[in-house]
């Protein structure tokens, strides 16, 4: 027999290298998980915003900003507030053949705020045509 003894197990240097590699992998996985959690939070916030806008749009779709420049509409726990600003001076409306219509029309910017249970949920802008009847139809 020779005088050589075989070493079994890991040396201290091998253990340190293995732990360092494991720590680097764990840090990378933690950063990936943290980024995923932030992304999920942003998606949830965006979904809540879209749901609030979808719920508010039917309440303002028939809005005539020339007659109601500002106001509030409520349905259950949903409250929709708006204020409108004219983008141009009102002018006579035109028919499809270019004749003056019975209405005066104007373009408005409408700022809409959506609240649920009193808490702000969404804010968005619309452009709406305001109108009012200024003439009567002439009898033939």
Kindly state whether residue 35 falls inside one of the protein's structural domains.
yes
* Radius of gyration of the chain, Cα coordinates, nearest whole angstrom: 33
Output the pLDDT for position 136: 87
Output the pLDDT for position 85: 96
Kindly state whether residue 3 falls inside one of the protein's structural domains.
no
Output the pLDDT for position 27: 92
8 A C-beta contact, residue 111 and residue 84: yes
Kindly state whether residue 84 falls inside one of the protein's structural domains.
yes
Kindly state whether residue 103 falls inside one of the protein's structural domains.
yes
Residue 52: closest CA among 78, 82, 71, 72: 78
Dump pLDDT digits (tens) for 123-138. Answer: 999 999 999 999 888 7
Structure tokens at 114: 């959506």
Kindly state whether residue 138 falls inside one of the protein's structural domains.
no
Kindly state whether residue 121 falls inside one of the protein's structural domains.
yes
pTM score, two decimals?
Answer: 0.69
Residues of the chain predicted below pLDDT 50 = none
Kindly state whether residue 42 falls inside one of the protein's structural domains.
yes
Average pLDDT, the chain: 90
Kindly state whether residue 115 falls inside one of the protein's structural domains.
yes
Residue 66: closest CA among 112, 116, 7, 106: 106
Which domain range does residue 30 map to?
A: 12-133
Output the pLDDT for position 4: 61
Task: Please report the sign of the dihedral spanned by the C-alpha atoms of residue 63, residue 106, residue 129, residue 119.
Answer: negative
* Dist. CA 47–CA 52, nearest whole Å: 9
Output the pLDDT for position 127: 95
Output the pLDDT for position 6: 65
H-helix or E-strand containing 19? helix 12-60
Number of domains in the chain: 1
Output the pLDDT for position 3: 56
């Amino acid at each position: 027999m020779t005088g050589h003894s075989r070493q079994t197990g890991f040396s201290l240097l091998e253990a340190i290298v293995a732990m360092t590699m494991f720590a680097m992998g764990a840090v990378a996985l933690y950063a990936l998980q943290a980024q995923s959690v932030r992304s999920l939070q942003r998606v949830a916030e965006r979904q809540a915003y879209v749901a609030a806008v979808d719920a508010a749009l039917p309440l303002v779709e028939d809005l005539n900003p020339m007659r109601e420049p500002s106001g509030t509409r409520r349905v259950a726990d949903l409250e929709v507030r708006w204020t409108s600003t004219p983008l141009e001076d009102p002018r006579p409306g035109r028919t499809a053949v270019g004749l003056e219509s019975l209405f005066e029309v104007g373009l408005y910017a409408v700022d809409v705020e959506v609240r649920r249970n009193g808490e702000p949920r969404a804010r968005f802008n619309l452009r709406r045509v305001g109108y009012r009847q200024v003439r009567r139809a002439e009898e033939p």
